[in-house]
């Protein structure tokens, strides 16, 4: 695709850098490297601002014209990024300070753009494949026999969250995967080959090694495995309890000694279990910890929920949201006919003043907490804004996600909800505490094995240990072994259920979501201690604690200028990831689950031979293909959930 007139100026940046590089070949001169880094910092913001603007305009107004502008901006950025890579590679990094070495390392970490170094056609091919993967995902619709077709959001997701009809859930679950996975399968095979080529250009054996290298520790795979094994006993207790409750609803479609069918866990992927709380609530007669009704009764608007969240950050002595945030964010779904991507995301426009959230906010507790999570990302952006652009990111991928989650964890406590007038109780009793912890566990403990498994599969795919003819078979084998879930209907090799998940089709590493859940409780414990909290960890709310805010803010200011163990030490006093605070938080629930499961003589764990389709006999539907809706490039976004 030829470059259009809109992007020619950016190639001038690349040309200037390329000429600049000729004078710096194999240089170890400090003045020269500083001149290069200064030039890079002065211009990279312009490049990324243009790309972020094109992406924003597209996802807030999905048109073919805006889609083309995204591609143009990405191609334009590639010229600058690759020339910067060439420049940075010419320096003898070992002769410079640790800070300069770190900046050069990040400039050379060009991901997919590495293909353009050796073969621009391959880079364009990979870009096109990613666009097609996203289009297939975005255009997916499942059609009923009466001709009504449902997109993922809100139609199919609403079914997965609210329906208790087994056949309807199977129809939506299977239809989505038939529609998206089968179309994406050949594209994904080619994607893997090209991703690995890019990784090898940068000196890695494959993409899995490259992704793990982002954590700057050779033991990250072993560390993650140890953390998974540490939380597994609690997960198995929750799994057994949830299984019995679901059997009461779905009968023979659930087996009390086996894995859970993945279509009955509350969302399209069985990732977050929070939507099935009404089925698994321990004490329905206790005080509800869901304040959705209060938000509605008190007449809250989306803007008022955002303002309430902003006041939380200010109470900690952190930065308020700037004027441009309020002027340019999309916090509700437009009513002017535009088609938009509603998935909540936080945006940095790389000019140190423009930060936004895109979200189709609805008035319920879940979105109230999501708002705090997304604004946590914005707070991170604000805090590290003064640093060189090369340091504008979290200490590692998990840190950005953990910051948002730690704030939501405090906000969700009954203590905080009472303070802000959304819960009318003086204190919680035992039953309310168990209800609260169980509700929290569905989206915290319930998702951990899911998050761990995703990149275990992708690492195997990238390394060649899982070959294309085994993609689907190994996907479900890992689901069974690591997560304890099974498909509700048989899967075939022509399927590729992995690509029914957004993060896989948009080339976004997933280990961060597993690790973020671990470290969010390390952050939470540290901030609770700083606030002077006494008592059980799950009752802590650090609202209005300037001490807790300073502890967090000082860490956020580091961006990724230091290796993550140093950032971890800055807030927690330790340099390693640990599941101990998480397990401490849920300790009362663990004790309750063990007693409840023992009382019911539950089988803890899951046998691996049973499948729901061996006994169920519901009607199955085959969906139809639909038209293009979405292209989402997220390599400059935080996908925050």
Closest residue by Cα to residue 112 from 197, 47, 54: 197
Residues 6+ away with beta carbon under 8 Å from 226: none
Calpha distance 564→467 (Å, rounded): 34
Residues 6+ away with beta carbon under 8 Å from 231: 445, 448, 518, 579, 582, 583
- Cα 221 from chain centre: 19
- Phi and psi for 330 in degrees, rounded to 5? -110, 100
Is 348 within 8 Å of 376 (Cβ atoms)?
Answer: no
Active-site residue, from 374, 525, 602, 641: 374
Q: What region does 238 belong to: left with phi over 0, alpha with psi -120 to 50, or beta?
A: alpha
Residue 503: active-site member:
yes
Residue 594: active-site member:
no
Active-site residue, from 43, 372, 400, 503: 503
Is 519 within 8 Å of 224 (Cβ atoms)?
Answer: no
Radius of gyration over alpha carbons of the chain, in Å? 24
**Is residue 101 classed as helix, strand or coil in its secondary structure?**
helix
Question: What are the distances in angstroms from CA 48 to CA 242, 288, 347, 353, 408?
Answer: 45, 45, 11, 14, 29
Question: What are the distances in angstroms from CA 98 to CA 95, 103, 104, 199?
Answer: 9, 9, 10, 24
Closest residue by Cα to residue 88 from 41, 45, 121, 148: 41
Letter string b/e over residues 121-153, b meaning 16 or more CB atoms within 10 A of that residue's CB: ebbbebbebbbbbbbbbbbbbbbeeeeebbbbe
- Rounded to the nearest 10°, the torsion over CA 9, 14, 19, 23 is 140
Closest residue by Cα to residue 124 from 135, 136, 112: 112
**Is residue 525 classed as helix, strand or coil in its secondary structure?**
helix
Is 122 within 8 Å of 194 (Cβ atoms)?
Answer: yes
Question: What are the distances in angstroms from CA 615 to CA 133, 560, 611?
Answer: 35, 52, 8
Catalytically active residues, by annotation: 374, 503
């Amino acid at each position: 695709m030829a470059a259009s007139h809109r992007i020619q100026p950016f190639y001038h940046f690349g040309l200037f850098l390329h000429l600049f590089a000729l004078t710096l070949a194999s240089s170890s001169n400090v003045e020269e490297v500083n001149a290069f880094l200064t030039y890079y910092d002065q211009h990279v913001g312009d490049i990324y601002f243009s790309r972020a603007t094109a992406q924003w305009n597209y996802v807030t107004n999905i048109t073919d014209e805006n889609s083309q502008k995204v591609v143009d901006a990405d191609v334009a950025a590639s010229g600058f990024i690759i020339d910067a890579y060439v420049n940075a590679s010419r320096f003898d990094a070992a002769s410079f300070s640790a800070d300069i070495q770190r900046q050069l390392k990040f400039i050379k970490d060009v991901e997919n753009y590495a293909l353009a170094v050796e073969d621009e056609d391959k880079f364009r091919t990979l870009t096109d494949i990613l666009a097609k993967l996203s289009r297939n995902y975005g255009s997916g619709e499942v059609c009923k026999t009466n001709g009504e077709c449902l997109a993922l959001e809100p139609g199919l997701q609403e079914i997965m969250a609210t329906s208790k009809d087994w056949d309807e859930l199977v129809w939506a679950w299977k239809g989505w995967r038939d529609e998206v996975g089968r179309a994406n399968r050949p594209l994904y095979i080619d994607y893997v080959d090209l991703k690995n080529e890019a990784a090898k250009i940068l000196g890695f054996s494959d993409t899995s090694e490259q992704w793990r290298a982002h954590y700057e520790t050779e033991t990250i795979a072993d560390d993650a495995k140890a953390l998974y094994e540490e939380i597994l006993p609690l997960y198995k207790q929750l799994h057994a309890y949830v299984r019995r409750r679901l059997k009461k609803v779905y009968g023979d479609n659930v087996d009390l000694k086996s894995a859970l069918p993945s279509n009955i866990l509350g969302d399209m992927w069985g990732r977050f279990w929070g939507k099935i709380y009404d089925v698994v609530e321990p004490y329905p007669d206790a005080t509800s910890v869901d304040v959705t009704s209060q938000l509605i009764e008190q007449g809250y608007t989306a803007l008022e929920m955002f303002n309430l969240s902003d006041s939380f950050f200010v109470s900690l002595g952190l930065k308020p949201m700037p004027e441009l945030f309020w002027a340019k964010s999309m916090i509700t779904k437009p009513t002017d006919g535009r088609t938009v991507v509603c998935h909540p995301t936080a945006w940095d426009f790389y000019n140190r003043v423009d930060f936004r959230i895109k979200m189709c906010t609805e008035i319920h507790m879940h979105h109230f907490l999501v708002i705090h999570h997304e604004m946590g990302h914005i707070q991170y952006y604000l805090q590290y804004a003064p640093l060189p652009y090369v340091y504008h990111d979290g200490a590692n991928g998990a840190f950005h996600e953990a910051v948002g989650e730690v704030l939501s964890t405090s906000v969700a406590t009954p203590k905080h909800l009472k303070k802000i007038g959304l819960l009318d109780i003086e204190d919680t009793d035992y039953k309310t505490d168990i209800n609260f912890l169980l509700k929290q566990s569905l989206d915290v403990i319930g998702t951990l094995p899911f998050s761990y498994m995703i990149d275990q599969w992708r690492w195997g795919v990238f390394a060649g240990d899982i070959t294309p003819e085994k993609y689907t078979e190994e996907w479900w084998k890992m689901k069974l072994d690591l997560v304890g879930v099974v498909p509700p209907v048989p899967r075939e090799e022509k399927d590729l259920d992995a690509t029914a998940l957004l993060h896989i089709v948009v080339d976004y590493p997933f280990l961060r979501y597993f690790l973020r859940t671990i470290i969010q409780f390390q952050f939470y414990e540290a901030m609770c201690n700083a606030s002077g909290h006494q008592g059980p960890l799950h009752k802590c709310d650090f609202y209005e604690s300037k001490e807790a805010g300073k502890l967090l803010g000082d860490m956020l200011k580091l961006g990724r200028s230091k290796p993550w163990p140093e950032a971890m030490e800055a807030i927690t006093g330790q340099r390693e990831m640990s599941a101990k605070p998480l397990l401490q938080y849920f300790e009362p629930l663990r004790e309750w689950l063990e007693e409840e499961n023992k009382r019911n003589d539950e089988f803890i764990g899951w046998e691996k031979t049973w499948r729901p389709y061996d006994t169920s006999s519901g009607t199955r539907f085959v969906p139809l293909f639909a038209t293009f809706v979405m292209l989402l490039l997220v390599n400059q976004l935080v996908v925050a959930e």
